[in-house]
Amino acid sequence: MTSLNQKLFQRSQEFIPGGVNSPVRAFKSVGGTPVFFKQGKGAYVWDADNKSYIDYVGSWGPLILGHAHPEVIKAVQNKIKDGLTFGAPTEAELEIAELLCKLVPSIEQVRLVSSGTEATMTAIRLARGYTGRNRIIKFEGCYHGHDDALLVKAGSGALTLGCPSSAGVPAEVTNSTTVLNFNDLEELEQIFSKAGREVAAVIVEPVAGNMNFVTPNPKFLPALRELCTKYGSVLIFDEVMTGFRVGLGCAQGVYNIKPDLTTLGKVIGGGMPMAAFGGKREIMQCLAPVGSVYQAGTLSGNPIAVSAGLATLQMVQTPGFYEKLTSSTQQLTNGLTGIAKKYEIPFCAQSLGGMFGLYFRGDIPSSYAEVMECDVESFNRFFHAMLEEGIYFAPSSFEAGFVSSAHSDMVIRKTLQAAERVFSTWK
Ligand code: KE4
Domain boundaries of the chain, sorted by first residue: 4-68+319-424, 70-316
CA of 325 to the centre of ligand 1 (A): 22
Q: H helices then E strands: how many in the chain?
A: 15, 14
CA of 298 to the centre of ligand 1 (A): 20
Q: Is 117 in the pocket of ligand 1 (CB under 6 A)?
A: yes
Tens-place pLDDT, residues 167-178: 999 989 999 999
Tens-place pLDDT, residues 57-92: 999 999 999 999 999 999 999 999 999 999 999 999
Q: What is the pLDDT of residue 279?
A: 98
pTM above 0.85, yes or no: yes
Q: What is the pLDDT of residue 159?
A: 83
Q: Rounded CA gap, 427 and 329, in Å?
A: 27
Q: What is the pLDDT of residue 162?
A: 74
Nearest Cα to 107, choosing from 117, 96, 118, 116? 96
Q: Is 120 in the pocket of ligand 1 (CB under 6 A)?
A: yes
Contact 67, 37 (CB under 8 A): no
Q: What is the pLDDT of residue 166?
A: 87
Sorted by sequence, the CB contacts under 8 Å of residue 289 that are 6+ apart come out as none
Q: Is 239 in the pocket of ligand 1 (CB under 6 A)?
A: no
CATH level 3 topology of 4-68+319-424: Aspartate Aminotransferase, domain 1 (3.90.1150)
Best of 24, 27, 142, 156 to mutate for ligand 1, by most ligand atoms within 8 A of CB? 156
Number of Cβ atoms within 10 Å of the Cβ of 38: 12
Average pLDDT, the chain: 97
Contact 130, 283 (CB under 8 A): yes
SS3 content of the chain, % helix, strand, coil (to 5): 45, 15, 40
Tens-place pLDDT, residues 249-295: 999 999 999 999 999 999 999 999 999 999 999 999 999 999 999 99
Q: How many residues does the chain have?
A: 427
Q: What is the pLDDT of residue 397?
A: 95
What is the separation, in whole angstroms, between the first and last Cα of the chain? 30
Q: What is the pLDDT of residue 315?
A: 98
Nearest Cα to 99, choosing from 322, 314, 353, 315? 314
Per-residue pLDDT for 114 more than 90? Answer: yes
Contact 246, 254 (CB under 8 A): yes
The CATH architecture to which 70-316 belongs is 3-Layer(aba) Sandwich (3.40)
Q: What is the secondary structure of 60-71 as a DSSP string?
A: GTT-TT-BT-HH
Tens-place pLDDT, residues 135-158: 999 999 999 999 999 998 888 888
pLDDT band at 163 (very low <50, low <70, confident <90, very high): confident
Tens-place pLDDT, residues 40-50: 999 999 999 99
User: Fold identical between 4-68+319-424 and 70-316?
Assistant: no
**CA 242 → CA 21, 107, 206, 215, 414, distances in Å?**
23, 15, 8, 11, 26
The residues that bridge with 287 in the sheet, in sequence order, are 293
Angle between helices 376-388 and 409-424 (to 10 degrees): 120
